[in-house]
């Protein structure tokens, strides 16, 4: 077929209105502009990027917690690099996990070997029985399934008993109150309970491969060989000015590609307009568009569409306290991050972002970030400074910091950070999903995704199907 005939038969790119200014919106806009579609992004807040921004403190640039991009897919990585301006810092993560007060190297999941061979053996027996029963598909097909239902189907009773306190520490909720969909956001997809050689043998069985964990080695790209063609390491990080630099590059790249971006622009309602859709804004302006992509969550979309659902029943919004410790470089550890699932400790994750590469700290200095999940009513949320000494000692015990005290500390708290789907959330949003099925011009980005690369991968796959 000649190029002229092919051009005549290909559908013309359509215009898109994208609501929201976070990572999903920016990735979707980049993909759509690359394909020639007109793009208009509206963000209700003051800026773009959402959590993908950095806060200046003294001479530091602070991310809100531990943030790295995963290199699971060559297509996703290539798009993220394009959004970042073409370059990134390769990161072969030095990671660890604390379980029952003991440190395990090269894992970011709890290591149940620390509970002794008897408990690990009981867990393995239950995992084998659960794999033989093979109920996972049925559990995931049932929209009312809880995370506890999924844990039982994957690991049996003993594994569920051991994982439940870890879920409670990280999310502040017991797993029966969370949706099975929350599993992708938590270190409960696999369990570590054997030595590496035994794990290799067990993972030869397909039913056990996605249940049993083996510590990563080298670059950690053993299962992502194709991704090596784009980025040689398992993770990567923006080259300039942290996450704020990444977001600024995204915005400038879209503007130079003639995308239209607006902040302080809130959508109050949307309605069908023939085969198109009409969005009405708080200032009374209306925009008619061929397609609308909503990236701000099902709760706000339902409100704009006039659909009455219990939005409080969709997500558990997790409060957190962040501690940033200013230290000389030689008093910070060498690891990139570690998780702590020990019930006696406050921190659930400790990271040293300046270890990713240059640009986040002045020469000779580093900062250590400690993340604490909690409830708003808790003492640590109400008075985080009173706990700074305890948090510092946890970082020291983890090998992430050295010395009696940091040179300085900054505390920040947020009443809502990560959002975990509650048990029954899918049934709650079903009226909205029915409306979307009847309104093909409106699309909603996947509400239950995890990680930066996962978010980008999900929204680009959705656009491919639109």
DSSP string for 363-411: TTEEEEEEEEE--TTSHHHH-GGGGHHHHHHHHHHTTSB-SSS-SEEEE
Tell me the three state secondary structure of residue 263: strand
pLDDT at position 466 is 84
pLDDT at 230: 79
Instruction: Give the mean model confidence (pLDDT) for residues 221-245.
Output: 78
What pLDDT, on a 0 to 100 scale, did the predictor assign at position 72?
Answer: 86
Kindly report, residue by residue over 415-441, the tens digit of the pLDDT. 999 999 999 999 999 999 999 999 999
Q: What is the pLDDT of residue 341?
A: 95
pLDDT (0 to 100) of residue 420? 95
The pLDDT tens digits for 394-415 are 999 999 999 999 999 999 999 9
pLDDT at 8: 46
Give counts: helices (H), strands (E), the chain: 15, 22
pTM over 0.85: yes
Indicate the SS3 state at residue 144. Answer: coil
pLDDT-based confidence at 150, cuts 50/70/90? very high
Instruction: Decide: residue 423, CB within 10 A, 0-12 exposed, 13-18 middle, 19+ buried.
Output: buried
Report whether 354 contacts 332 (CB < 8 A): yes
**Binning pLDDT at 50, 70 and 90, where does residue 237 land?**
very high
pLDDT reported for residue 226: 52
Average pLDDT of span 185-193: 92
Q: What is the pLDDT of residue 6?
A: 42
pLDDT digits (tens, 9 = 90+) for 281-299: 999 999 999 999 999 999 9
Domains 3-53+239-313+422-465 and 319-417 share a fold: no
CATH homologous superfamily of 319-417 equals Protoporphyrinogen oxidase, mitochondrial; domain 2 (3.90.660.20)
Q: What is the pLDDT of residues 78-97, one digit of tens each?
A: 999 999 998 899 999 999 99
The reported pLDDT for the residue numbered 228 is: 60
Boundaries of every domain in the chain: 3-53+239-313+422-465, 114-215, 319-417
Determine the pLDDT at residue 448: 76
Residue 231: the pLDDT is 86
The answer, yes or no, to whether residue 13 has pLDDT greater than 80, is: no
H helices of 84-223, where? 117-133, 136-141, 147-171, 196-202, 206-209
Query: Mean pLDDT in the chain?
Result: 92
Alpha carbon 98 to its chain's center: 21
Provide the CATH number for the domain formed by 3-53+239-313+422-465 in this structure: 3.50.50.60
Backbone angles phi, psi at 293, to 5 degrees: -110, 120
> 40 Cβ partners below 8 Å, 6+ apart?
15, 16, 17, 18, 259, 260, 261, 262, 287, 289
- Average pLDDT on 371-381 reads 97
- In this prediction, residue 356 has a pLDDT band, given cuts at 50, 70 and 90, of very high
């Amino acid at each position: 077929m000649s190029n002229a005939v092919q051009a005549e038969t290909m559908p013309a790119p359509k215009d898109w209105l994208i609501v929201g200014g976070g990572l999903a919106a920016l990735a979707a806009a980049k993909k759509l502009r690359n394909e020639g579609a007109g793009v208009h992004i509206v963000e209700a807040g003051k800026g773009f990027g959402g959590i993908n921004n950095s806060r200046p403190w003294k001479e530091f640039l602070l991310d809100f917690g531990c943030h790295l991009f995963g290199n699971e897919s060559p297509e996703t990585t290539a798009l993220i690099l394009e959004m970042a301006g073409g370059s990134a810092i390769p990161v072969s993560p030095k990671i660890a996990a604390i379980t029952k007060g003991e440190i395990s190297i090269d894992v970011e999941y709890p290591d149940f070997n620390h509970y002794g061979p008897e408990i690990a053996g009981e867990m393995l027996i239950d995992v084998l029985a659960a794999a033989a029963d093979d109920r996972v598909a049925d559990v995931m097909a049932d929209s009312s399934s809880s995370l506890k239902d999924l844990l039982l189907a994957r690991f049996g009773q003993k594994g569920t008993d051991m994982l439940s306190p870890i879920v409670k520490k990280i999310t502040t909720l017991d797993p029966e109150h969370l949706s099975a969909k929350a599993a992708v956001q938590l270190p409960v997809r696999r369990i570590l309970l054997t030595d590496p050689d035994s794990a290799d043998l067990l993972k030869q069985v397909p039913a056990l491969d996605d249940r049993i964990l083996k510590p990563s080695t080298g670059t950690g790209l053993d299962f992502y060989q194709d991704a090596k063609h784009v980025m040689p390491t398992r993770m990567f990080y923006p080259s300039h000015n942290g996450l704020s630099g990444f977001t600024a590059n995204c915005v400038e790249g879209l503007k130079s590609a003639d995308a239209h971006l607006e902040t302080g622009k809130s959508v109050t309602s949307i309605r069908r307009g023939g085969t198109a859709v009409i969005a009405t804004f708080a200032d009374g302006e209306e925009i008619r568009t061929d397609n609308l992509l909503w990236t701000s969550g099902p709760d706000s979309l339902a409100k704009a569409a006039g659909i009455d659902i219990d939005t409080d029943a969709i997500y558990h919004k997790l409060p957190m306290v962040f501690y940033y410790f200013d230290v000389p470089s030689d008093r910070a550890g060498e690891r990139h991050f570690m998780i702590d699932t020990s019930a006696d400790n406050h921190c659930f994750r400790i990271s040293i972002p300046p270890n990713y590469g240059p640009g986040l700290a002045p020469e000779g200095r580093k900062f250590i970030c400690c993340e604490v999940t909690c409830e708003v009513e808790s003492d640590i949320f109400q008075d985080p400074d009173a706990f700074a000494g305890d948090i510092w000692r946890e970082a020291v015990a983890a090998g992430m910091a050295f010395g009696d005290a940091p040179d300085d500390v900054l505390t920040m708290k947020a009443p809502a950070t990560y959002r975990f789907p509650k048990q029954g959330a899918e049934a709650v949003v079903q009226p909205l999903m029915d409306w979307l099925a009847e309104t093909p011009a409106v699309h909603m980005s996947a509400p239950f995704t995890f990680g930066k690369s996962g978010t980008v991968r999900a929204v680009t796959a959705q656009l491919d199907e639109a």
